[in-house]
Structure 1
Amino acid sequence: MRFNNILRCTASAAVVGVVAFGFAGGAAAQEGPTTVDDIIVTAQKREQNLQDVPIVVTTLSQEALNGAGVRDIKDLQILTPGMTVTSTQSEASTTARIRGVGTVGDNPGLESSVGVVIDGVYRSRNGVGFGDLGELSRIEVLKGPQGTLFGKNTSAGVINIITEAPSFTPGFNAEATYGNFNAWGIAGSVTGPITDQIAGRLYVAKRERDGFYDVNLGDGPRTETDDQNQDFWTARGQLLILPSDEVSIRLIADYSKRDEYCCVATQIRTGPTYAFIDALSTGTGQAPPAAGFGKLPFSRTAYANRGTGQEMEDMGLSAEANIDIAKWNATLTSVTSWRDWSTVNGMDLDYTGADILYRANDGSYGFELDTLTQEFRLAGATDKLDWLVGVFMTRENISRADSYSYGADYTPFLSFLLTSQLNAANPAIPISPGIIGCLTRPGTTAAGLGGCLVTGGASPAGPTQATGPGFGLGLGVSDHYSQRSDSIALFTNNTWHVTDKFDVTLGLRYTQDKKRLLAVQDNVGTNGAACGGTLANLTALATVLGGAGGAAAGLPTAQRIAGNICLPWANALYDNRRISEETDDGELSGTIKASYRFNDSVMGYGSFARGYKSFGYNLDRVQNGITPVNSLLFPSETVDSYELGLKNTLFNRSVLLNLTYFHQTFQDFQLNTFLGTAFVVESIPELKSQGFDADFVWFTPIEGLSFTSGLTYTDTKYGDFVAGDLTNPGNFPQLSLLPGARASFAPEWSATGSVAFDRSIGAGLKVGFNLTAKYSTEFNTGSDLLPYKMQDAMTLVNGRITLGTEDDRWALDIWAQNLTDEEYVQVAINAPLQGSAFQTTVQPNGTYYNPALDTQTYDAFLGQPRTYGATLRVKY
Structure 2
Amino acid sequence: MKDRSEQLRRAVVGALALVTLPALGQQASEPQESRTIDTIIVTAQKREQSLQDVPIVVTAVSEQLLKDTGVKDIKDLTILTPGLLVTSTSNESVTTARIRGIGTVGDNAGLESSVGVVIDGVYRPRNGVGFGDLGELERIEVLKGPQGTLFGKNTSAGVINVVTKRPSFDFGADVELTAGDYGAMEGAASVTGPFSEKVAGRLYVASRERDGFLDVVRGPGPRTEDEDVDRKFTTARGQLLFKPSDALDIRLTADYTDRDENCCAAPQAVLSPNPGVIQVLTAIGGPNSFRNPADPFDRVAYSNRSTKQEVTDKGASMEINWDLAGLGGATVTSITAYRNWETINGQDADFTTADILYRNPDGNFGNEFKQLTQEFRLAGESEKLSWLVGLFYADEDLDSRDQLIQGTQFQNYFIGLTGGAASPLVTLGVLTPGSYPANSATKDVYEQSSKNWALFTNNSIRFTEALELTLGLRYTDESKDLDSHYQNLHDGLGCTQLRANDTLRNLAIAGNAGIQTLYGIGCSVTYADPIYGNVQTKQSLDEEEWSGTAKIAYRFTDEVMSYLSYAKGYKGGGFNLYRERNGIFFLPVGTPGLGPTVDTDTHFEKETVDSYELGVKTQWAGNSLLVNGAVFYQDYTDFQLNTFTGLQFIVTSLPQVVSQGVDVDFVWFTPLEQLSFQGGVTYAETTIEDFGGPANLAFFRTERKDDTLSFAPKWSSSLSATFDQPIGNSLLLRANIGARYTSEYNTGSNLDPRKIQDAMTLVNARVGFGAADEKWMVELWALNVTDEDYYQVLFDATLQGSSTTPGASQSTLNGFLGAPRTYGVTARFKF
| Structure 2 letter corresponding to 1:674 | F
Shift of 1:297: 6.4
In the aligned structure 1, how far is the partner of 2:101 from the partner of 2:513? Answer: 38
Partner deviation per Cα, 1:526-551 (whole Å, 9 max, x = no partner): 2x1221232232x34244x4xxxxx8
User: Where does residue 572 of structure 1 map in the other structure?
Assistant: 530
Do the aligned partners of 1:39 and 1:49 also contact (CA within 8 Å) in 2? yes
User: Where does residue 534 of structure 1 map in the other structure?
Assistant: 498
Structure 2 stretches lacking a partner, 5+ long: 1-18, 20-33, 586-595
Question: The residue matched to 2:421 in structure 1 has which SS?
Answer: coil
In the aligned structure 2, how far is the partner of 1:469 from the partner of 1:794? Answer: 49
Shift of 1:225: 1.2
Q: 1:562 aligns with which of 479, 494, 519?
A: 519
Q: 1:713 aligns with which of 641, 660, 683?
A: 683
- Find out whether 1:875 has 2:830 as its counterpart: yes
- Residues 554 and 108 of structure 1, relative CA distance in 2, 3 Å threshold: closer
Shift of 1:559: 4.0
TM-score by length of 2: 0.92
Shift of 1:476: 1.2
- Find out whether 1:340 has 2:298 as its counterpart: no
User: Where does residue 575 of structure 2 map in the other structure?
Assistant: 617
In the aligned structure 1, how far is the partner of 2:739 from the partner of 2:364? Answer: 42
In the aligned structure 1, how far is the partner of 2:696 from the partner of 2:49? Answer: 50
List aligned pairs for 1:387-786, cutoff 5 A.
387-419=387-419, 430=421, 436=425, 452-453=427-428, 467=432, 470-526=435-491, 528-537=492-501, 539-543=502-506, 545=507, 553=510, 558-566=515-523, 567-624=525-582, 626=585, 627=596, 628-724=598-694, 729=695, 732-734=698-700, 736=702, 738-762=704-728, 764-786=730-752
Shift of 1:581: 0.5
Question: The residue matched to 2:722 in structure 1 has which SS?
Answer: strand
In the aligned structure 2, how far is the partner of 1:161 from the partner of 1:523? Answer: 43
| Structure 1 letter corresponding to 2:830 | K
In the aligned structure 2, how far is the partner of 1:147 from the partner of 1:582? Answer: 24
User: Where does residue 293 of structure 2 map in the other structure?
Assistant: 289
Q: 2:767 aligns with which of 785, 791, 801?
A: 801
Partner deviation per Cα, 1:671-729 (whole Å, 9 max, x = no partner): 011122222221111100000001121112322310222000011100132434xxxx2
- Residues 179 and 317 of structure 1, relative CA distance in 2, 3 Å threshold: same
In the aligned structure 1, how far is the partner of 2:356 from the partner of 2:781? Answer: 42
In the aligned structure 1, how far is the partner of 2:696 from the partner of 2:561? Answer: 50
Shift of 1:316: 0.1
Partner deviation per Cα, 1:448-471 (whole Å, 9 max, x = no partner): xxxx33xxx5x8xxxxxx947601
Question: The residue matched to 2:443 in structure 1 has which SS?
Answer: strand
- Find out whether 1:48 has 2:49 as its counterpart: yes
- Residues 523 and 498 of structure 1, relative CA distance in 2, 3 Å threshold: same
Partner deviation per Cα, 1:616-647 (whole Å, 9 max, x = no partner): 11111123553443311111000000000011
In the aligned structure 2, how far is the partner of 1:188 from the partner of 1:399? Answer: 34
Do the aligned partners of 1:542 and 1:555 also contact (CA within 8 Å) in 2? no
In the aligned structure 2, how far is the partner of 1:619 from the partner of 1:839? Answer: 24
| Structure 2 letter corresponding to 1:743 | L
Partner deviation per Cα, 1:496-546 (whole Å, 9 max, x = no partner): 0011100000000000000000011010132x1221232232x34244x4x
In the aligned structure 2, how far is the partner of 1:698 from the partner of 1:552? Answer: 68
Do the aligned partners of 2:752 and 2:809 also contact (CA within 8 Å) in 1? no
Question: The residue matched to 1:477 in structure 2 has which SS?
Answer: coil
In the aligned structure 2, how far is the partner of 1:297 from the partner of 1:74? Answer: 22
In the aligned structure 1, how far is the partner of 2:796 from the partner of 2:647? Answer: 9
Q: What percent of counterpart residues are identical?
A: 51
Shift of 1:751: 0.9
Do the aligned partners of 1:334 and 1:376 also contact (CA within 8 Å) in 2? yes
User: Where does residue 279 of structure 2 map in the other structure?
Assistant: 275
Question: The residue matched to 2:570 in structure 1 has which SS?
Answer: strand
| Structure 2 letter corresponding to 1:149 | L
Do the aligned partners of 1:468 and 1:530 also contact (CA within 8 Å) in 2? no
User: Where does residue 326 of structure 2 map in the other structure?
Assistant: 327
User: Where does residue 449 of structure 1 map in the other structure?
Assistant: none
User: Where does residue 161 of structure 1 map in the other structure?
Assistant: 162
- Residues 737 and 213 of structure 1, relative CA distance in 2, 3 Å threshold: farther
| Structure 2 letter corresponding to 1:541 | L
Do the aligned partners of 2:654 and 2:692 also contact (CA within 8 Å) in 1? no
Higher mean C-alpha displacement, 627-636 vs 489-498: 627-636
Do the aligned partners of 1:737 and 1:785 also contact (CA within 8 Å) in 2? no
Question: The residue matched to 1:430 in structure 2 has which SS?
Answer: helix
In the aligned structure 2, how far is the partner of 1:239 from the partner of 1:180? Answer: 37
- Residues 479 and 597 of structure 1, relative CA distance in 2, 3 Å threshold: same
In the aligned structure 1, how far is the partner of 2:816 from the partner of 2:436? Answer: 30
- Residues 297 and 206 of structure 1, relative CA distance in 2, 3 Å threshold: closer
User: Where does residue 6 of structure 1 map in the other structure?
Assistant: none
Q: 1:824 aligns with which of 772, 790, 800?
A: 790
- Residues 486 and 554 of structure 1, relative CA distance in 2, 3 Å threshold: closer
In the aligned structure 1, how far is the partner of 2:493 from the partner of 2:791? Answer: 40
- Residues 553 and 120 of structure 1, relative CA distance in 2, 3 Å threshold: closer
User: Where does residue 8 of structure 2 map in the other structure?
Assistant: none
Question: The residue matched to 1:154 in structure 2 has which SS?
Answer: coil
- Find out whether 1:854 has 2:809 as its counterpart: yes
In the aligned structure 2, how far is the partner of 1:610 from the partner of 1:730? Answer: 26
Question: The residue matched to 1:65 in structure 2 has which SS?
Answer: helix
| Structure 1 letter corresponding to 2:649 | F
User: Where does residue 205 of structure 2 map in the other structure?
Assistant: 204
Do the aligned partners of 1:737 and 1:784 also contact (CA within 8 Å) in 2? no
What is the number of equivalent residue pairs in this alignment? 782
Question: The residue matched to 1:137 in structure 2 has which SS?
Answer: strand
In the aligned structure 2, how far is the partner of 1:375 from the partner of 1:809? Answer: 39
Question: The residue matched to 1:387 in structure 2 has which SS?
Answer: strand
Do the aligned partners of 2:398 and 2:447 also contact (CA within 8 Å) in 1? yes
Do the aligned partners of 1:315 and 1:340 also contact (CA within 8 Å) in 2? yes
Shift of 1:737: 5.1
TM-score by length of 1: 0.87
**Structure 1 segments of 4+ aligned residues over 6 angstroms from their partners:** none
Shift of 1:835: 1.9
- Residues 554 and 666 of structure 1, relative CA distance in 2, 3 Å threshold: closer
Do the aligned partners of 1:283 and 1:353 also contact (CA within 8 Å) in 2? no
| Structure 2 letter corresponding to 1:854 | S
User: Where does residue 349 of structure 2 map in the other structure?
Assistant: 349
Do the aligned partners of 2:88 and 2:95 also contact (CA within 8 Å) in 1? yes
Question: The residue matched to 1:298 in structure 2 has which SS?
Answer: helix
